[in-house]
Each structure stands twice: as structure tokens, then as C-alpha cells.
Amino acid sequence: MKKKYFLKLFLTLLIFINGSLFSSDDKTESNIDINKLKIKFSENIQKYTLKNGLRIILMKNGFTPTISAYLKVGIGSSNEPFDQAGTAHFLEHLLFKGTDILGTTNYEKEKYYLKQIEIDGERIDKLNKILNDPLLTDEEIKTISKELETIKRRHKFIKKASQKFILSEEDSKAYSLAGEVGYNAYTSMDVTNYQIKLPKNRLELWAWIESRRFIKPVFREFYSERDVILEERKMRYDSKPNSLLYELFLKTAFGMSPYGKPVIGFKSNINRLKMSETMKFFEDNYIPSRMVIAIVGDIEFEPVYELLKKYFEKIPRKEEPEFPPIEFEKQLGKKTAVLTAENTPYLITGWHKPDINHADDIVFEVLEKLLTDGQTSRLTKRLVLDEKLASYVSAYNGNPGKKLANNFTIFTGPYLESSYDKIQEIIKDEIKKLADEGPTEKELEKIKNNVLADFIHSLASNSGLADSLTYYELLMNDYNKIFYFIENLQNVNKEDIQRIIKEYITEKNNTTVYIQNPQNN
């Protein structure tokens, strides 16, 4: 596809979605180049870095008096040691529990209850671990169990007594009165994100609440929230074999390296997460140099910057912690694992590949679409439509994250377990055809348009822009890479597809897991 046509399509889509970024003259100009496109964006974006290292990205977009505010921290489950798996996700929950000002009627009195709750809670956890020792005598078990019950009763009483100081969801109520939309958060392997949409005259309220969340959080209701996450784990994983198979895939593909565990943590360790260790993880990792704020909407740069500086520069600067905790060891041969469960068939297969900053990552984006995007894509057409071996097939680039070297993964829902081998043969066959012949020019043009459309769709709102800007700034250390994406995409050719397949999609670099029903063993 010719460069001019591709960029013209890009500009047309952007005008359709975010017309306020461009003048009427831009809409009719035919000789658009990538540099002009970057200039247009640069006129509407400013980046600032506070003294403590926190980065702020401000973008003017839209005429409605609203803003989308995203605060993203470059900390996810990949930053955790294995014995603290789930801590980042747990912290996402805990940071909604308030501060020394929000969420309490009297923190000076409440903090004494919180300290005793922590002491008793950690003692209960310790005694429970001791009781797992198979070498304990009956007398020792009896003595420890008696002590445990005494502490549990006191723990329950103090937790109940502390409730008189708690104002649940006070931040949420304040935002609701201010006209919020979409107040939420998420945790991934790579980042933790806090987001909201507000009237622009409520920005100072947001700055005060969010800065205080990271200056003086209070982990009230720690143990009850830990139980909530354990229940969430049961619903999302333990009762769903497909989720357990995905967890098995992560363990098998990544082992003890950062991506080898689920974001929510393991069933065996969630109820062992300690308040002291969780607080230390927060203090060591949730530091301003790992935070990026994006405010997108009807704003003026300098007043908004000064407002954010007033609140967020109070977060103290800290040294960067070591990352990752354990390096991934190169795969030396194919890995296969089987999950025995009563469930419909499910197959996951994937290959290790480079991180988002590697030039080959964008090529895998195109390969993903070639294989499973739409009814004419190679695997969808053959597995689902022609041979009717599966109800669906989906490829995914960047599983389970992109900050580190990751996986190009294919998820398949076969109709029958007996078709596992046949499906894997077809996957290999279609990938081999691409390696030998490469995609056609028509295929590449269509795929590039689809990737472009998906990319543009992600920028279709102030929220989408804020989310993407903070993501690229954290993972690629430059929000401008959001625009380089399109330049790199247009340069992908069939030789690139052939090369990455031959280099990465190999037998020794493969991990495959599948479900097998007990009656079929």
C-alpha cells in the first residue's frame, strides 16, 4: 500500500474521530506526511516532569467542559516476587479504602485499632502456617489451635470496634457529587491504572484525592478485603477450567520469571499476604518516577500544570527498585502440559517473542490479524468455517504483557478433544505457508487497514487517548511512540512476516497446554 494513501486514511479517521485537533484546511489537503501529522499532535500536547520524577501529559481535545484523568503506575504483577503474587492487584483494591483524611471519622483514634488488627492478623497467619507442619505432635497442635482461637476472637472484636471510624467509599461519593463518570481502576502484568471522567472545574478535587492516595494511604479493612479477593479468585479461576488452563500456560511458558503468575495471585498465597509486606511493596514500588498522569479534554496547559504540581510534587522522590526480580531463562525445547478437568475442550499454544520496544513487535501485530481477524483470516477460515473443528480461534500478540519479552499466543475452542492434534497440524501448516510464501499484497493492505482501524478506535475518546498516552509513556518511555506506531506499521512487508515466523515460531520455542476430561484419560 502506498505511503501517501495510508497516511491519508490515517488522517481521515483522526479527523472523523477527533475533529477538534485539526483545522478545516487539513481535511482537504492531499499531500500529508508523517511529520506534518506529528506537528499537528504536538501543538495540542505538552509534557512536564516534576522534581520528584512524576510525568504529566496534558492534551487539548474537544469542546465539552469535561476532562479524562488517568493516573498510571508502571507497577503490575510482574514486579512481585512469587511469594507475594497478587500484591499489585490487592493494592489496587486497598488504595480505594481511603487515607488519613478520607474514609475515616477520626484517624488519630482509628490508627491504634489498625495497628492491633495488623499485629493480630499477622500472628493468625503465622500460626496457620505453623499448623501445616506435618511433624507437629497432637499436643503441639492442640496448644497452637487454642492460642489461635483466642487471637481470632480478639481480632474479630477489634475489627468490629474499628468500624465506627470507617466511612466507606468516601472518595467515590465525593466524585459522584462532582459529576464523575467511569471512576475505576485496573491492574495488569505491567501497570496499575486509576481513571475518571469529570467536569473540568472539578480537576482540583481529583488532584487532591489522587495525590493523597499515594502520599498517605491507609490499608483499612485489609483482612476483609483479602477475603474478597480470595472469593474473586474462586469465581474467576478456581470454578473455571479455562482460566485454570491459562494459569497453567503462564506457569509452563514463563516458569518462575515475572510473567509466570496470574495477576490475581495464587489460591495458596492470597490468604497469606501480609499487611507489613504489602505496605513495604507499596513504599518501594509506587514511587513518582514510575507514575504518569494524562489529562485530556478542554484544558489550558499552564494552569492545569500548576494545579497538578501543587498536589503531586508532594509525593516524595525515591530510588528505583530492582526489576525484574527474576530474569526469564531462554526456552530450550517445546513445553507441553495437560489440565484434567470436566470441561469443553480448550487449547492454548504460543511462542516466546520480544517486548514492545523491539522492532518485531509491530510485525506480530500484523501476523495476529493475518491468522484470526475476521472470517477470511487464515486460521478462522480453515479451522472454524471450512473444517469445522473449532467454535473459535483467536491469536494475541503480547500475552500476558508487553513490558518484558512475552508470548504470541493462539487460543482455540475445539469441538472435540480428539481434534487437538489435527488443529495443531493445521496451525503449523498455515503458519508454514506464510513462512514459505508470505502474505499477498491484498492481505497485507487489508490487515494494515484493520490494525489501523483498531488503533484509531482506541483513540476515539478522551479516555482512550489518556489511557494510551500513559501506557506508551510508561512502557516505551515516550508517549510520542503512540504516533510512531502508524509509521512502523506501514513499513511491514511480507519478508518481515516470513522472517519472524522462521525466527520465533519454532518447535523448540513453543508452549502448548490443553484440557482433558477425566473419562478420556
**Measured torsion, CA atoms of residues 252, 255, 261, 267, in degrees rounded to the nearest 10:** 80
Tell me the pLDDT band of 249, cut-offs 50, 70 and 90: very high
The domain limits of the chain are 1-33, 44-98+181-318, 105-165, 335-520
User: Model confidence over 182-222: pLDDT tens digits?
Assistant: 999 999 999 999 999 999 999 999 999 999 999 999 999 99
- Please give the pLDDT value at position 37: 61
Residue 27 has pLDDT above 80, yes or no: no
The pLDDT score that the predictor gives to residue 481 is 87
Q: Where are the beta strands (DSSP E) in 26-139?
A: 45-49, 55-60, 66-73
**Side chain identity at residue 239, one-letter code:** S
Which of 43-47, 96-100, 334-338 has the weakest average pLDDT? 43-47
Q: Give Cα 250 to chain centroid, integer Å.
A: 15
The SS3 assignment for 432 reads: helix
- Beta bridge partner(s), residue 55: 49, 292
- Whole-angstrom Cα distance, residue 511 to residue 206? 45
For 336-374, b/e burial (b = at least 16 CB within 10 A) is eeebebeeebbbbbbbbbbbbeeebbbbbbbbbbbbbbe
Residue with the larger pLDDT of the pair 518 and 485:
518
**pLDDT higher than threshold 50 for residue 79:** yes
Give the model's pLDDT for residue 26.
40
CA atoms within 13 A on the CB side of 383: 34
- Domain 44-98+181-318 falls in which CATH fold? Cytochrome Bc1 Complex; Chain A, domain 1 (3.30.830)
Which among 302, 413, 234, 370 has a CA at the least distance from the CA of 58? Answer: 302
306: confidence class by pLDDT, cuts 50, 70, 90 = very high
SS3 147: helix
Tell me if 44-98+181-318 shares its fold with 335-520: yes
Q: Which residues of 234-244 are buried (b: 16+ CB within 10 A; e: fewer)?
A: eeebeeebbbb
Q: What is the largest CA-CA distance in the chain?
A: 87
> What's the CATH number for 335-520?
3.30.830.10
113-168, pLDDT tens digit by residue? 999 999 999 999 999 999 999 999 999 999 999 999 999 999 999 999 999 999 99
Ramachandran region of residue 199, left (φ > 0), alpha (ψ -120 to 50) or beta?
beta
Task: Give the model's pLDDT for residue 431.
Answer: 97
Sorting pLDDT into bands at 50, 70 and 90, what band is 521? low
Per-residue HEC secondary structure of 209-246 comes to HHHHHHHCECCCCHHHHHHHHHHHHHHHHHCCHHHHHH
| CB distance 110 to 165 below 8 Å | yes
Helix (H) or strand (E) holding 270: helix 267-270
What cell does 342 get?
Answer: 470436566
At 340 the pLDDT is 96
User: Rounded to whole angstroms, how far apart are CA atoms 315 and 311?
Assistant: 8
pLDDT of residue 22: 42
DSSP code for 417: G
Report the C-alpha gap between 68 and 78 in whole angstroms.
27
3-state secondary structure of 192: strand
pTM: 0.91
Instruction: Name the phi and psi angles at 413, rounded to 5.
Output: -110, 85
pLDDT the model gives residue 348: 98
| Residue 14: per-residue pLDDT | 55
Cross-sheet strand order for the sheet of 347-353: 335-340, 510-516, 347-353, 406-414, 390-399
C-alpha cell at 359: 522492532
The neighbour count for residue 20, using CB atoms within 10 Å, is 14
Q: Which helix (H) or strand (E) holds 305?
A: helix 301-312
Q: What is the pLDDT of residues 439-450, one digit of tens each?
A: 999 999 988 888
Average pLDDT over residues 86-101: 96
C-alpha cell at 213: 492516595
Question: Is pLDDT larger for residue 298 or for residue 325?
Answer: 298
